[in-house]
Amino acid sequence: MDRERRSAGDGTVPAFVDWLLAAVVALVGLLSVAAGSALAVLVDRDALAAGIEDETVTVTVGTTELTDAEALEVADAVVSWTGTGLVVVGVGTVLVAVGYLVARRRARRRREAGESADSYGAYVLVGAVVTVALSFLPFSPALGGALAGYLERGESDRTVSVGALAGLVPALPALAILAFVLGGLVAGLVTIGQVGEAVVVGTMLLLSGLLVATLAGALGAVGGYVGGRFAQRRDRRIDARRSASDGNP
């Protein structure tokens, strides 16, 4: 394998790995759709009213506890928007899985025809899946980014970007769902006349989400750089061994 090919990614991700990655992503999407549908069916306005009445459900904004009527309006809006968000994000995630398979199939066909095709997107998805799988660790985006950067190879100038995307991509569905939750919360607070609280709470949640996304991307970028450097050193050792072997009779 020559260094030029390694620098752009060698495109050797097997087809079964593509299918496995797409299956994992699609499964996450289907679970999101199922959760959103269940939320819409099982948690209706009457159920919320009953929960608020017997104090099973309480809604507070800041340090102020809302009245039962106000709490019902806010809780109903949040549940409705959240259920919709879960379904929308789930469907979008399934479509991403299908689109990934289509793109990878086209890439393999181009490669078979002798045209240039790499596996940048596949490396991003591999790193993203690892980030999610290791999410119980505090620095999982760095680990996912390191794997993506390693696969992209050390001589590539895209190891940082592939690592950043591997860390950031898993946060995007969560941010999208958070946006729907935020929309429901703001809508409910505006309905009961708590416009000021809606602005404060909405701003805090939005900034928190952006901070988490930025941190995930930054950790992924650092991991991508480290993984790329590790791959670079490994490739150089392999080249040195081959050169030494070729020089021997």
Mean pLDDT of 25-44: 93
Structure pTM?
Answer: 0.82
Percent of the chain scoring above 90 in pLDDT: 47
**What Rg value do the Cα atoms of the chain yield, rounded?**
24
Any domain includes 179: yes
Residue-wise pLDDT for 110-157, tens only, equals 887 777 667 888 899 999 999 999 988 889 999 999 999 999 876 567
State the pLDDT at residue 58: 63
Query: How many other CB atoms are there within 10 angstroms of residue 62's CB atom?
Result: 10
35 sits in which H/E element: helix 15-42
Is residue 174 predicted with pLDDT exceeding 80? yes
User: What's the total number of domains in the chain?
Assistant: 1
Residue-wise pLDDT for 88-116, tens only, equals 999 999 999 999 999 888 888 888 777 76
Q: Which residue has the higher pLDDT, 196 or 224?
A: 224
Is residue 2 predicted with pLDDT exceeding 60? no
Any domain includes 3: no
Mean pLDDT of 42-49: 83
SS (H, E, C) 76-133: HHHHHHHHHHHHHHHHHHHHHHHHHHHHHHHHHHHHHCCCCCCCHHHHHHHHHHHHHH
List beta partners, residue 65: 60
Report residue 12's pLDDT band, with 50, 70 and 90 as the boundaries: low
Any domain includes 130: yes
Is residue 248 predicted with pLDDT exceeding 80? no
Report residue 223's pLDDT band, with 50, 70 and 90 as the boundaries: very high
Any domain includes 108: yes
Average pLDDT of the chain to the nearest whole number: 85
Any domain includes 242: no
State the pLDDT at residue 7: 41
Instruction: Give the domain extent around 108.
Output: 12-237
In this structure, the strands spanning 60-61 and 64-65 are antiparallel
Any domain includes 171: yes
State the pLDDT at residue 235: 78
Mean pLDDT of 170-190: 92
State the pLDDT at residue 9: 43
Q: In terms of Cα–Cα distance, which of 174, 166, 160 is closest to 212?
A: 174
Any domain includes 249: no
State the pLDDT at residue 47: 80
Is residue 164 predicted with pLDDT exceeding 80? yes
List beta partners, residue 64: 61
Any domain includes 1: no
